[in-house]
Structure 1
């Protein structure tokens, strides 16, 4: 089987750069300044990292071509990007030269600029001193692009979802009384890579009382018969799109009250999935899950938002949370992951990634949602 490409065709990045410039122009900006991070990977397919030497994509909004300012010793970082295919001008520099002045030279006097939110202060402050008008964040511009996934991005997310499903399908091999959370996590980490991810970005194995901590990772706690175990795992598949899926397991038959509460959680998660469609607000999807739990006295133990966007970042917009009036549109991808947490006792969470379609949504995870009983 052929390995997935490390980036999309150059035409995809040309389109993204053109749309970014147009949105920046509509926002009254002269240029977007993007340093290494998810925004640079989205706009150029570049995997360059941020160091003390400045690398910066300059996207003018007046129709001029985008260009890259990059240290000469890091030119190889552009090799895997679309810069060469698009014939973008590259302005390299060596130690002793002023890269911030090079960026400023590419812009008009008193430019109105926006910077990527991942730009380190190490670079933001020197850049800002070159401009009479302080830069603003480019978040509002770039979020409009990254929130709506195109067909190729959705396909990458489908592959990621299928890969993490294959890992969850093997959980019975590893979750056993007598093993530690750390031992289980080591097996899961290896499987995440074996099933097609480039790495395991996160592995949460929350057994017993640790399941009541939504952001517990792993520990040396030994799994015991009767434990309820929360397993939240994910990672990127090429070209960098993430999986993220949570299931809850029981080592042996669960107590009746545990089974009943997880059944309510499953109903809440399904209600939120059913609420997803174009034209509704992100907040309304959060409310769909929350209302089910509140009706059964569980509102206080659901302590986080219902979901987060996903793509080149594990957490990105849109956020499925009370107060978010963003209207859902086809192509948006995000998690639906209500949870219930009983401090000192146990917890449970059920999480799928969904993509908004023209008339509803497409779930990208398909493992059973209820409490999965394993030998105890």
Structure 2
């Protein structure tokens, strides 16, 4: 791990502490998961045993990691260690909640904010250990830091975006009539890893009428000639940053639904309209509206049953959400999907999805694979 990574950890912890002080919070408690990985560059699951990073708002330099002794080896050489975060271990049979509260020292926080990934089991036992302790969510607090991607994070999103593009350009190797959705999905999952992903987190292959279900899981349905097929795929790269990209394909032969070409071009137009609307100062909901207006004007509004997008980074779904009611102004560095769709029950669905990053003058696309209706 580099000293620059340690400097990033120091900066993030101090910014979190500053935000906590402004919010009147005495300490922020962060469990294993993407928030912990963001703050200290590493995360090791602890299952039912308590692992928590405690960041005192008054003294972020006194941040401490409380974890089971048996997990300490998993942190050897980590950025957290290089950054000088203290480690306090506990043994099975000892009270980790008392250890945590003791390490917070004289501050003895009256208010602690816990991140979204802390199991209720631990929050409940922590509260029982100090009934006067006031717990509140820290998710929004941490999201404020994570929403604005730093340049190296944007580079990671661009890299994993290029990897998912390479997979989409190979879809014709596997998608054809006579194969099942599961068979195609297995090949795509292998290709995701082959093209640079750490794992294949999700592979949606939704053929024919299954495409009308936005989160359809691959099944044993045999793909037919003339079927439209929604392929929504993604996963993390080795650094933990995620891809998420959807294209809708047409299987060669057969007689496609006569409405398919029109609907596909409509969704493509809506997606371009939303991308073109991205700029600093535009609200998240205005991007949703840009896509939705195109589809509503064409008479398909009732079949656009999802939000237009979601933030992405160390999680596939994170802030900001591109949805009606979200009035947050967009800022440079925010990254999110733009994925309008039309879902006609019992017939077919169409979705086109790219990841964009807000630049100084508009959207920077992280995906470049063709959005036309590709026949395979």
With structure 2 as the length reference, what TM-score do the two structures score? 0.96
What do residues 81-130 of structure 1 show as CA deviations (whole Å, max 9, x unaligned)?
31210121111110111110111112323521100111001111111123
C-alpha displacement of 1:370: 2.0
| Counterparts of 1:130 and 1:113, CA distance in 2 | 13
| Counterparts of 2:196 and 2:129, CA distance in 1 | 45
Please say if 1:217 is aligned against 2:217. Answer: yes
Question: Which runs of 4 or more aligned residues in structure 1 lie more than 3 Å from their structure 2 counterparts after TM superposition?
Answer: 5-8, 253-256
The verdict on how the C-alpha distance between 1:165 and 1:291 changes in structure 2, with shifts beyond 3 A counting, is same
Q: Residue 3 of structure 2 contacts residue 82 of structure 2 at CA under 8 Å; is this kept in 1?
A: no
Q: Match of 1:135, SS?
A: strand
State the match for 1:359 in structure 2. Answer: 361
State the match for 1:102 in structure 2. Answer: 99
State the match for 2:208 in structure 1. Answer: 208
Q: Residue 46 of structure 1 contacts residue 77 of structure 1 at CA under 8 Å; is this kept in 2?
A: no
State the match for 1:300 in structure 2. Answer: 302
State the match for 1:369 in structure 2. Answer: 371
State the match for 2:6 in structure 1. Answer: 10
- After TM superposition, the structure 1 stretch with the greater mean CA deviation from structure 2, 351-360 or 21-30, is 21-30
5+ residue gaps, structure 1, are: none
| Counterparts of 1:45 and 1:202, CA distance in 2 | 24
Matched residues, number: 370
State the match for 1:28 in structure 2. Answer: 24
Q: Residue 46 of structure 1 contacts residue 80 of structure 1 at CA under 8 Å; is this kept in 2?
A: no
State the match for 2:286 in structure 1. Answer: 284
Q: Residue 45 of structure 1 contacts residue 80 of structure 1 at CA under 8 Å; is this kept in 2?
A: no
| Counterparts of 1:296 and 1:8, CA distance in 2 | 51
Please say if 1:48 is aligned against 2:52. Answer: no
C-alpha displacement of 1:13: 1.4
- After TM superposition, the structure 1 stretch with the greater mean CA deviation from structure 2, 59-68 or 146-155, is 59-68
Q: Match of 2:62, SS?
A: coil
The verdict on how the C-alpha distance between 1:171 and 1:318 changes in structure 2, with shifts beyond 3 A counting, is same
| Counterparts of 1:262 and 1:69, CA distance in 2 | 52
What do residues 21-76 of structure 1 show as CA deviations (whole Å, max 9, x unaligned)?
11111111111001101111110112211311111101011124211101100102
What do residues 258-297 of structure 1 show as CA deviations (whole Å, max 9, x unaligned)?
1011101100000000001000110000000000000000
| Counterparts of 1:50 and 1:116, CA distance in 2 | 15
State the match for 1:61 in structure 2. Answer: 57
5+ residue gaps, structure 2, are: none
Q: Residue 7 of structure 1 contacts residue 238 of structure 1 at CA under 8 Å; is this kept in 2?
A: no
Q: Match of 1:15, SS?
A: helix
| Counterparts of 2:75 and 2:85, CA distance in 1 | 11
State the match for 1:195 in structure 2. Answer: 195
Coordinate RMSD, CA, aligned: 1.5
Q: Match of 1:32, SS?
A: strand
C-alpha displacement of 1:80: 5.5
Q: Match of 2:80, SS?
A: coil
State the match for 2:34 in structure 1. Answer: 38
Q: Match of 2:361, SS?
A: coil
The verdict on how the C-alpha distance between 1:80 and 1:291 changes in structure 2, with shifts beyond 3 A counting, is farther
